[in-house]
Amino acid sequence: MKVQRSTIFAVNAKSNLHHFHSSQAELESVSKLLDRKWGLQSPATPIHRISGIGKLSFLNNTRPRLGDEVSKKRSSFYILRDDLLHPLVNGNKARKLDALLPLLQDHKVTDLVTCGGCQSAHTAAVAVSCAERGVRSHLLLRGEQPEVLTGYSLVSTMYGNVEYVPRSKYANREEMLRTHADLVAGEDGSVLWVKDLEAMDGFSSSEAASSRKVLIVNEGAGDALALLGMFRLVKYLSEDHLLGKKSRVKFVVDAGTGTSAVGLGVAAMSLGLPWEINAVMLADTLQNYKRHEARLLEEFTRQFLPSIVCSSLDTIKWVERQRPRKFGKVLEGEVEMCRKIAQETGVLVDPMYTLAAWETATELVEDEESSIVVMLHTGGTLGMFGLAQRYKSFFTNSND
């Protein structure tokens, strides 16, 4: 497994070196940061322990011992079942929207514009969440409409307003989103990007009550605000009765845009936790992941934690998946492995995203003796419907 370390820099006038240590003032800043309204009622998530690594069968302990009795056995890893948070809005999508959703109502947002692939879990999560709050969602999906709508494309169509966009136009996402938002807003409405929502104190209070207030959310909710949900999760997991603050933890998360991995890494750094985030690169190059990481970190520290100092702290390891390939391609045997895992553990992973995290977690477990290995299940299970359309032979032969 090829590994690339990521070094995080956030410097101010009193820059110094952090080695898994945060001052009391910094911890208080984080606590204040988390004192806000949230979309999820609780940061809690079911935690299971998978054992049997390297043997013929997997076993799932749905009520493992945690706290002082957390296991460091080489034959097992923990899995955070964020895929169980909501029937349709789950995994890292629920975490990314955790801090954003209350702001929609606080700022009286009427419409939300975002984009994603044909089977985008992000756009489906946005559509459902907006509908639950009386906000109209406008979803720009890349490519052509499928002959049969299934999975996330079906959910997006049922809950939101979908428009399929040619790939050539989709390539310039910022211009595409802004142009569509302007059309939705009309002559009397206003448009704001998520990154400016809190900095500008939202929309102008002088606008007519009947005018549309349109918010633009980047693809995959790749905004600094999305990191707050990961902060909340990490703060919860670091409680003494769960993973604690002293145990060395090797986190594993599959990386689409990489936003979740950055959120986990910055949270662990800010809270002074000896945690390492292993982000499995799925959809982009190492250079682009690190560029996205640098942008998010700069935005986040500027907007939320300008007092946090971190110089030359290695928190995130960008790693290649066991069998690299062009994004969107499923390889022979992967559907069968997903089926084996589901039948033996009750955990459904998909060959596009979460199987990659599962494979990396099992690999780390076999090499690790001093750290706890924890996989974050990022959801995405409805994407299996779209894959079954594209890779019919892999699924029709799964019972042979």
Which active-site residues does the annotation give? 120
Give the pairing type, strands 372-376 and 76-80.
parallel
CB burial readout 82-121, b (16+ within 10 A) else e: bbebbebbbbbbbbbbbbbbebbeebebbbbbbbbbbbbb
CB burial readout 21-36, b (16+ within 10 A) else e: ebeeebeebbeebbee
Q: What gap in Å lies between CA 106 and CA 104, rounded to an integer?
A: 6
Phi and psi, residue 147, nearest 5°: -65, -40
Strands, E assignment, the chain: 3-10, 47-51, 59-61, 76-80, 111-116, 136-142, 161-165, 190-193, 213-216, 249-255, 275-281, 310-320, 372-376
CB atoms within 10 A of CB 186: 11
C-alpha angle 164-255-316 in degrees, rounded to nearest 5: 150
State the DSSP string of 95-130.
HHHTTHHHHHHHTT--EEEEEE-TT-HHHHHHHHHH
Q: What gap in Å lies between CA 194 and CA 99, rounded to an integer?
A: 11
State the DSSP string of 313-325.
EEEEEEEE-SS--
| Amino acid, single-letter form, for residue 213 | K
Helix (H/G/I), strand (E/B), else coil: 288: helix
| Terminal Cα-to-Cα distance of the chain (whole angstroms) | 31
Strands, E assignment, 175-307: 190-193, 213-216, 249-255, 275-281
| Amino acid, single-letter form, for residue 244 | G
